Amino acid sequence: MGTERTEPGTGRNGEPGTEDGPAAQIPEPAPRQIPERAPGQIPAPAPPEPDIRTGAPDASTGGPDPRTDPDPAPGRLQRLAGVWRRPALRWPRRIASALVLVLLLPPLAAGIALRVNYAGDPAAGTYTRHRDALWMGHAWVDGRKKDADVRALAARLRTTGVRDLYVHAGPLEHDGTLPASAYPRARRLIGAIHREIPGVRVQAWLGDELATEGPVGLRLERAATRTAVVRSAGQVLDAGFDGAHFDLEPLHSGDADYLSLLGDLRRVTRAHGALLSVAAHQIDPLPSLHSVAGAVTGHPKWWSQAFFGQVARRVDQIAVMSYDTALPLESLYGGYVAQQTSLALEVTPKTTDLLMGLPFYYEDNMDHHGSAETVAAAVRGARLGLSRTDRTRENFGVAAYVDFAAREKDWAEYERGWVR
């Protein structure tokens, strides 16, 4: 889901990570020797102190004394400023100023727009429709979770709006197949969930890395691979799951092979009386931004709004991965979720469940600033988008990612802001 969070004890090869060895011991420097001198002799200058990082003599020795030597920097700056003010450089100055404006104004304007989008109050009644979902790790189907864990989960969910559980049953192999050994305790889990939380549905979460930006991964352009994925969906439905939930990344906007696959999957899920749901990329916040990002970085992060609508018309549920945005402030992130909610509502059929993702985890890196991407901001943003675009939409909810990284704070903000 975006930047993958690894559940403890999982992974394609199941290999444990390495541990750092002991810290290197820093040798203690030998005491400095003070040479003997005759009475009255003027002492020679002391040798320079070693650099604490390299042990080499201080490179600054012999340089200008900051207490007595004038700083040459101001003189150089004044000369440069004089050159820059010359009449012959008038047009270069104007071009440079224009470039600065071109680079700074769009981000500034976007930031202001997102902050404004986060302003105001959500409409009354924009709370849970009891169509929410929770992504859950592989431990629930491989035997690590026990009956006591199911009872604790039931106690947690009874006062929420969660109706669907996306339980990780994969990953798919790169050829689209799925070994039955990947989910040995699935039937036991499904039976326990149905018994402890009647009405809650258990869907098999299947996914894999696509070979869209590298040489390794699942290739949707191969008909045999798509056929194997469809068989894998029928396989988990035969095992008792109430639906199949697919998360294939990175999936580029406009992928016709993906749309073809969804059509084939829909026929299988309907034949089983089951659900078809997908995790979806975010929508272009600016027109054709995915094309620009693809051309510049090779990674078109977003889908076009039109492609999002094409996907939404082929599934029963679509959950937007509305996190890992790299936005630095909570107000900007909340405004972004409000915008994403409106864009998605505009093209999602009323018969399809639209779910907005909630970040039930904390990280601080280039993609995700935990202080900004909070559950509270995401919930408020989703309510604002719902209020402005389709306040009475019933087939709407939120999806929490992910159970094994969730904190009590995340659950509390979800219940306080969305469940009431």
Give the pLDDT of residue 171: 97
Q: Please, which pLDDT band fits residue 139 given cuts at 50, 70 and 90?
A: very high
Give the pLDDT of residue 186: 98
- The answer to whether residue 65 scores a pLDDT higher than 70 is no
Give the pLDDT of residue 103: 46
C-beta neighbour count of 127 within 10 angstroms: 15
- The answer to whether residue 224 scores a pLDDT higher than 70 is yes
Give the pLDDT of residue 297: 61
Please, are residues 312 and 355 in contact by the beta-carbon 8 Å criterion? no
Which tens digits make up the pLDDT trace of 148-168?
A: 999 999 999 999 999 999 999
Average pLDDT, the chain: 84
Tell me how long the chain is.
420
- Give the pTM: 0.77
CB-based contacts of 71, cutoff 8 Å, min separation 6: none
Please, are residues 117 and 339 in contact by the beta-carbon 8 Å criterion? yes
CB-based contacts of 142, cutoff 8 Å, min separation 6: 182, 183, 184, 185
Which tens digits make up the pLDDT trace of 232-279?
A: 999 999 999 999 999 999 999 999 999 999 999 999 999 999 999 999
Which tens digits make up the pLDDT trace of 89-121?
A: 656 655 655 554 444 445 656 668 787 889 999
Q: What is the DSSP letter of 358?
A: E
